[in-house]
Amino acid sequence: MKKIIPIIIACGTGLTVLAGYFFQDRLAPVLGLLIHWGISLVGLAGLIGIAYLVRMHFFRIARRQKGAFYSVIVLIAFFFTFITGLILTPHNAIYRDWVLNIQVPVEASLLAILSVTLLYASLYLIRTRGWTPMSVGFLVGALVSLILNLAVLQFQPGSMGAVWALFLRRLPLAGLRGILIGMALGGLIVGLRVFLAIDRPYEGE
Amino acid sequence: MPVLICPECGAENLPDAETCVVCQASLLGVEPADPGQPQPDTQDEHVPVDQPEDDLSDLLSSLKQDDALDDFQDGEEGPRPALDIGEVEEQEDSLEEPEVPEWLHRIRQRAQTEPDSVGDVTQRIKAAQESLDEQKKVAQEQQLESVIKKIHGEDDGQPPGKTEDDVEQPAEGDEQVVEDSDWLTRIRKKHRPELGDEIQGTLSEREGDSLLQWLVALEEGGSQSEGVEGEPLQRGDLVEDTQEVEVSPTPGDSTQEIDIRESSPAKRTETELRITREEQTRADQLAATIIDEKAPRPVREPRKEASPQGIRRVLGLLLVIILSFMLFFQCSGGVTSGLQEPQGVAVREWAEDLPAEANLLFVLDYQAGYAPELDLSARPILELINDEGRAVSILSSSPSGSLLFYRLLDQTSGLDRLVVNDLGYYPVESFGAYGLANQVRSNWQITSQPEFTKRLPSGPFDGILILADDYGGAMAWIEQLSSLAPEIPIYLIVTAQAAPLLLPYWEAGQVKGIIAGMTNVISMDGETAAFASRWRAYQAGILLVIVLLLVGLFFPVYHLQDGEGGRQ
């Protein structure tokens, strides 16, 4: 009984959402209610995560553990942003600049590091795998893509160069379609397994 | 009637005869005797023929002695019957006295010619005697085999101590000792005929020491036998070379002594020296390793090489200089137009043809790190949309989405001209897309449902513009909205990395137009002064990556690996 109830709830919800695609006019309010419940639960989970993070940093400061200084900075920034946001609201230019002028450079720097890491990983791949057809294909594909993104090669519409450029741009679409079809089939299989109670993620399995 | 019996031939004569009628021997002094009366038994050899069959001990004894003597005279080839020592001495004495009574001689002759002449009792006795001899022979052979198997370490299935006890402990009587000596003597003669009388005598002297030792010597050949001869074993040695082993499940109930002399020092030394090839190989490797470690080596001078950290710093500094140069030194004027992508042109045309009262929804699904790229891509479209008093709705599926959009509007002066309806933050893209599409189709309400301060708009949209940095979030929006509300046109402004996976949706018609990255923008609008410097920096960055890729391929970069202390 302890296992049957979650299965019934999951299957019932799945059936209702699935039926919403076919009987949208009749089930739209019910589905809206389910969506709101789901969003509320996810928001509550976010609040719990924030509370856990604050608690962890508080404990780190109280126990004078390693990195307690950074925890102090995190807590000060968090409470300042939180209180300021409650007072000024996101529409305020000062509050907006306060948040984004910190967040944007930090995330952009992380992305720059990521690009350099990917570059080095591609070099390491060539060195470890050697000059195999796969590594050569990867190298040639990366170089061609980068050169095309430079937009220095100008082709007149209808010329052979434009046709080649169009071919090279469309070449990845074949593989991308295969990836998308695979993802769709995978999602379908996962949904069916949950719907048929073969996989029960709500039980931690 | 009394008669005179001739002392020579035994013939009977008349009482008054002076000579024998048969042999003419003198009968003077012979006392007359009555043949009807039994004569007194005065000598052993005069055994009466008509003696009762129940009392045949003397006869059997004489027959036994005769057989034994015959076997002994035949060269001691066959099994010898068991005889007591006293009987053997008597037999030897009898050999010195070859006189055989006449009656016995006659009996033997008759027995040889007529087998039936021997009585039934005598035949039974002979058969029993032969059977006894056969049994003894079999038992002796079994003992010999068990002793040999024990020497070879085999399990003969018999109690291990039986043979040893029989051989080394002649405490069961002299008769058993004589028996063992007998068959042992025959075995020695048969297997070792080359040994002289001296060795035979020596071995005979050791009969009481160790039969097992002699058998071991017999198995190991002459060289070993010499060693055995040189060091006669004592009883004390046997005691030292044996150990007590329990053969009963109950401790102490039954124990026996097992000879462990095979693990003598000489044998142990031979076993230790016998090593396999693998062991020899390992020993050689170990020896080589030890020698190699102890070998003197020249002191290696630490060689100063170009530090990879220095190379990195140089490259980083070069990159910063190039990008800064591109950013601060703007190129004005040179407007170039690239190849216009049809998906980008469709977005521009949709934005230009929007009516003033059109209801628009902006979906913000990108992180702050991608804001510079998306701002450059979305700015031309927003400038076309920024009509005075236009109402737009924003719905964010990233935490900072609304903040980023407000700043974008502020940069395009649209914040003052547009009426923005913030629908809030939806942490899961699918929830927002599914709820939005169903809200559009809803034509009835649940009466007891509480009212939300921010709820999804129920009115139809003239267009949905999705700003996304990743294909995952954009896919969720596209799939849900295109299936539940296919009549609403969807347009995308995405980063260059998300565009390849979203192009199939544009080819399938689920998306009406896509602007992907700065390349699409500049291909449509040309190189304007607004983002000429960023475009130059973007080109310089790509060029630098190409150069580093080629240099790294043909000039491998060395780096130190922590923990290994070596270079790769």
Which residues neighbour A108 within 8 Å (Cβ) at sequence distance 6 or greater?
B369, B372
CB contact under 8 A, B449 and A29: yes
A103 at B interface, C-beta within 8 A: yes
Burial B419-440 (b: 16+ CB within 10 A, else e): ebebbbbbbbbbbbbbbbbbbb
Asked if residue B360 and residue B464 are part of one domain, the reply reads yes
Burial A118-143 (b: 16+ CB within 10 A, else e): ebeebbeebeeeeeeeebeeebeebe
Angstrom distance (rounded) from CA A77 to CA A57: 12
Which of B375, B404, B441 best tests the A interface by mutation, with the highest count of A CBs <10 A?
B441
For residue B14, the enclosing domain spans 1-38
Q: What total of structural domains would you count in chain B? A: 4
Helix (H) or strand (E) holding B500: helix B499-508
Residues in chain B within 8 Å Cβ distance of A90: 402-403, 406
Residue A110 lies in a domain: no
Specify the residue for token string 């490797």.
B285
A4 at B interface, C-beta within 8 A: no
pTM (global) more than 0.80 = no
CB contact under 8 A, A38 and B336: no
Tokens of B106: 């006659």
> Looking at residue A205, what is its pLDDT?
55
Query: What is the identity of the amino acid at B51?
Result: Q
Question: Is residue B16 within 8 Å of residue B2, measured between CB atoms?
Answer: no
Residue B62 lies in a domain: yes
Tokens of B142: 């079994």
Residues in chain B within 8 Å Cβ distance of A143: 546, 549
- What is the DSSP-derived secondary structure letter of residue A197? T
Asked if residue B114 and residue B1 are part of one domain, the reply reads no
By residue count, chain B amounts to 568
The per-residue pLDDT for range A112-122, each reduced to its tens digit, is 899 889 888 88
Question: Is residue B242 within 8 Å of residue B259, measured between CB atoms?
Answer: yes
Residues in chain B within 8 Å Cβ distance of A17: 434
Question: Is residue B375 within 8 Å of residue B411, measured between CB atoms?
Answer: yes
> Looking at residue B546, what is its pLDDT?
87
Question: Is residue B217 within 8 Å of residue B224, measured between CB atoms?
Answer: yes
> Looking at residue B165, what is its pLDDT?
45
Is residue A116 packed enough to be buried (19+ CB in 10 Å), middle (13-18) or exposed (0-12)? middle
A35 at B interface, C-beta within 8 A: yes
Residue A133 lies in a domain: no
Asked if residue B88 and residue B29 are part of one domain, the reply reads no
Beta pairing partners, B227: none
Query: What's the helix, strand, coil split of chain B in %, to 5?
Result: 50, 10, 40
Among A30, A32, A162, select the one facing B339 at the smallest CB separation.
Answer: A162
> Looking at residue B512, what is its pLDDT?
92
Among A39, A93, A151, select the one facing B410 at the smallest CB separation.
Answer: A93
Asked if residue B515 and residue B471 are part of one domain, the reply reads yes
* Last residue within a domain, chosen from A64, A88, A112: A88
Residues in chain B within 8 Å Cβ distance of A173: 500, 503-504, 507
Specify the residue for token string 């003397």.
B58
Residue B156 lies in a domain: yes
Asked if residue A160 and residue A78 are part of one domain, the reply reads no
CB contact under 8 A, A104 and B427: no
Residue B545 lies in a domain: no
How confident is residue A61, by pLDDT bands cut at 50, 70 and 90? very high
Asked if residue B372 and residue B424 are part of one domain, the reply reads yes
Residue A15 lies in a domain: yes
For A50-117, the DSSP string reads HHHHHHHHHHHHHTT-TTHHHHHHHHHHHHHHHHHHHHH-TT-HHHHHHHHHHHHHHHHHHHHHHHHH
Question: Is residue B341 within 8 Å of residue A148, measured between CB atoms?
Answer: no
Asked if residue B80 and residue B190 are part of one domain, the reply reads no
Give the long-range contacts of residues A125-134, CB within 8 A, separation 24 or more. A126/B553, A127/B556
Asked if residue B18 and residue B89 are part of one domain, the reply reads no
pLDDT tens per residue across all 568 residues of chain B: 678 888 888 888 888 888 888 888 888 888 887 755 555 444 444 444 444 444 455 556 555 555 555 555 554 444 444 444 445 455 555 454 556 677 777 777 776 666 555 566 667 777 888 888 888 888 888 888 887 777 765 444 444 444 444 444 444 445 555 555 566 666 666 655 555 455 454 444 444 445 556 665 665 554 444 444 444 444 444 444 444 444 444 444 445 555 545 444 544 544 556 778 888 888 888 888 888 888 877 666 655 555 567 777 787 787 778 777 766 665 554 445 555 678 888 898 898 888 888 888 999 999 999 998 898 888 888 888 887 778 888 888 888 888 899 888 888 877 778 888 888 888 888 888 887 777 656 666 666 666 666 666 666 788 899 999 988 889 888 988 888 888 889 999 999 888 888 888 988 899 999 998 887 777 776 666 567 777 887 888 888 888 888 887 776 655 544 444 444 4
Asked if residue B195 and residue B67 are part of one domain, the reply reads no
Angstrom distance (rounded) from CA A72 to CA B145: 94
CB contact under 8 A, B549 and A119: yes
Question: Is residue B546 within 8 Å of residue A143, measured between CB atoms?
Answer: yes
Q: Looking at CA atoms only, how far is residue B266 from chain A in angstroms? A: 60
% of chain A at pLDDT higher than 70: 99
Distances (CA, A) of B130 to B67, B139, B176, B186: 11, 14, 18, 19
Of B168, B229, B237, B231, the closest CA to residue B200 belongs to B229
CB contact under 8 A, B434 and A154: no
Residues 175-204 of A with CB under 8 A from B: 176-177, 179-180
Among B369, B400, B504, select the one facing A99 at the smallest CB separation.
Answer: B400
Residue A38 lies in a domain: yes
Question: Is residue B344 within 8 Å of residue B518, measured between CB atoms?
Answer: no
* Last residue within a domain, chosen from A57, A88, A119: A88
Asked if residue B184 and residue B69 are part of one domain, the reply reads no
A83 at B interface, C-beta within 8 A: no
In terms of DSSP H, where are the helices of B18-119? 57-73, 85-96, 102-113
Distances (CA, A) of A123 to A135, A139, B15: 10, 9, 149
Say yes or no: ipTM exceeds 0.85.
Answer: no
> Looking at residue B454, what is its pLDDT?
63
A46 at B interface, C-beta within 8 A: yes
Vertex B392: Cα angle to B390 and B396 (nearest 5):
160
CB contact under 8 A, B339 and A111: no
CB contact under 8 A, B500 and A176: yes
Angstrom distance (rounded) from CA B456 to CA B464: 14
Angle separating helix axes A68-88 and A24-62, nearest 10 degrees? 140
A121 at B interface, C-beta within 8 A: no
Three-state secondary structure call for residue B494: strand
Asked if residue B237 and residue B205 are part of one domain, the reply reads yes
Which of A27, A84, A103 best tests the B interface by mutation, with the highest count of B CBs <10 A?
A103
Residue A68 lies in a domain: yes
* Chain A residue with Cα closest to B482: A21
Residue A22 lies in a domain: yes
Beta pairing partners, B259: B242
> Looking at residue A1, what is its pLDDT?
72
Residue A44 lies in a domain: yes
Q: Looking at CA atoms only, how far is residue A63 from chain B in angstroms? A: 32
Among A100, A155, A172, select the one facing B403 at the smallest CB separation.
Answer: A100
A47 at B interface, C-beta within 8 A: no
A82 at B interface, C-beta within 8 A: no
Question: Which CATH number goes with the domain that contains B408?
Answer: 3.40.50.720
CB contact under 8 A, B456 and A32: yes
In terms of DSSP H, where are the helices of B412-461? 429-441
Residue A174 lies in a domain: yes
CB contact under 8 A, B548 and A119: yes
* Number of helical (H) and strand (E) elements in chain A, helices listed first: 6, 0
Residues in chain B within 8 Å Cβ distance of A139: 549, 553
Residues in chain B within 8 Å Cβ distance of A154: 336, 338-339
CB contact under 8 A, B446 and A29: yes
Q: Looking at CA atoms only, how far is residue B459 from chain A in angstroms? A: 14
> Looking at residue B82, what is its pLDDT?
46
Which residues neighbour B332 within 8 Å (Cβ) at sequence distance 6 or greater?
B529, B532
- What is the DSSP-derived secondary structure letter of residue B270? H
**Residue B518: CA count within 13 A, CB half-sphere:** 22
Q: Looking at CA atoms only, how far is residue B504 from chain A in angstroms? A: 7
Is residue B534 packed enough to be buried (19+ CB in 10 Å), middle (13-18) or exposed (0-12)? middle
Of B330, B396, B320, the closest CA to residue B361 belongs to B396
Among B400, B431, B517, select the one facing A35 at the smallest CB separation.
Answer: B431
For residue A182, the enclosing domain spans 153-205
Angstrom distance (rounded) from CA B307 to CA B487: 62
> Looking at residue B450, what is its pLDDT?
65
Output the CA torsion B312→B315→B318→B323 (10° steps): -100
Q: What total of structural domains would you count in chain A? A: 2
Chains A and B form CB pairs within 8 A to the count of 139
Residue B535 lies in a domain: no
> Looking at residue A37, what is its pLDDT?
85
Residue B129 lies in a domain: no
The per-residue pLDDT for range A115-151, each reduced to its tens digit, is 889 888 888 877 787 788 888 888 888 888 888 877 7
Vertex B264: Cα angle to B232 and B279 (nearest 5):
150
**Residue B230: CA count within 13 A, CB half-sphere:** 6
